[in-house]
Amino acid sequence: MKMKKITANSMQEATIQIRQQLGKDAVILNSKTVVKRKLFGLKKQQMVEVIAVLDQDFEERAGKGLQPAAAPIPVLPKKEQIQHLTQELSAATQAVKAAPSHSQPLEYARNERHAGILPDSLMKIDQKLKDQGLDDEIRDECLKGLLTKGAVKEEQIEKELEKLLTGMLPAHTSDEPMIRSKYIVLFGSTGAGKTTTIAKLAAKTAIQQQKKIAFITTDTYRIAAIEQLKTYAELLNAPLEVCYSREDFVKAQQTFKDYDHIFIDTAGRNFKEEAYIKELTDIIPFDESIQSFLVMSATSKYQDMKAMVKRFEHVPIDQFIFTKVDETDTMGTIFQIIAESQIGLGFLTNGQNVPEDILESSPLDLTRMVLQ
């Protein structure tokens, strides 16, 4: 057995020295912060002192094709080590955030900083969350939380990680109905699936809850969209009004004053067009009686989703609806947008069938989708 005590300016530097002197199979037994005096004792400097060991018997057995007697048992970090590790993770996150988006060396440096410091179980979790599309900041918050809780075993990690991720999302009261207002409006860019989604919501409300429903559409750009919604309205025995202006909308409100819920479909347009937002707010009075959903495709890129939320910042967004969930393997982008905006998740759609392919989703449900 070969043992080394190394003093370095940082844990990263110490890890590099350990690899150089003992090899990649070395195990860190202990680390602590020490104060060293320089310039004849006039200057103090905080440094990291690490004790590492290499089991040479293990190397010999491995070289002969023999298995070690037992796998090395990871040592749980002590309180001061956890503090140091979380500081290292924070520094790595800040470095990556400050770097240009094209800077690959910093991403490599971040991985190198974690490697050899974090237990393998946490490194695997970090990679899993990265594969799901979660950025460095959220992943490092998870790692720091897991370290603070002392969770390095798989069964501990799963339970604590679920709590950490769910806590990043806006809370949802489980006994509060998802459709809770008289007027429900869906808006978003073209191709997101608003008309089919509004038909699913209306059908569930009419069939399962036995509510009296009606439709309003302001989508006067596509005749096909009006015809599609008219077909759904006839199937549900619900009236439909087409509105071209605010005056038409007010008249429709009067016409449907005795109805429980009125579902409002809007035009699908390029969200980058300022005129689209203006037309939307010119026709529909977004007040407290209206529950509004921004509809986005789950297959959209993160930057496009972020830009869309920014574009609609002057329109009250109560909740998100994400469509085409069945067409993607990753849910991290959805999680990221919700965690950043703190706008709640209302529904997910996972197919074209009306009304079956739509799901209510809680913060815990979304977290489990990300982890699974």
The share of the chain scoring above pLDDT 70, in percent, equals 76
For residue 58, pLDDT over 80 is answered with no
- Looking at residues 235-251, what average pLDDT do you find? 92
| Domain boundaries for CATH 3.40.50.300 within the chain | 183-371
Collect all residues with Cβ–Cβ distance below 8 Å to 343 and sequence separation of at least 6.
170, 294, 309, 317, 318, 319, 320
pLDDT (tens digit, 9 = 90+) per residue, 83-127?
A: 555 555 555 555 444 544 443 433 433 454 455 566 777 888 888
Mean pLDDT in residue range 271-280: 74
How would you label 64-102 residue by residue, b for 16+ Cβ within 10 Å and e otherwise?
A: eeeeeeeeeeeeebeeebbebbbebbeebbebbeeeeee
Kindly give the residue spans of alpha helices, DSSP state H, lying in the chain. 11-22, 56-63, 79-98, 104-114, 120-131, 136-148, 154-167, 194-207, 223-235, 246-255, 274-283, 302-311, 332-341, 363-371
Q: Which whole number is the average pLDDT over 212-217? A: 94
Q: What residue type is 253 in one-letter code?
A: Q
Query: Quick one: average pLDDT of 187-210?
Result: 88
Tokens of 328: 């993607």
Instruction: Give residue 103's pLDDT.
Output: 39
Mean of pLDDT values over 292-300 = 92
Q: What is the pTM of this model?
A: 0.68
Helix, strand, or coil (residue 54): strand
Least confident stretch, 28-32, 42-46, 71-75, 191-195: 71-75
Chain-wide mean pLDDT for the chain? 78
pLDDT at 73 over 70: no
Mean pLDDT of 12-38: 75
Higher-scoring residue by pLDDT: 33, 342 = 342
Classify domain 183-371 at the CATH topology level. Answer: Rossmann fold (3.40.50)
Pairing between strand 358-360 and 183-188?
unpaired
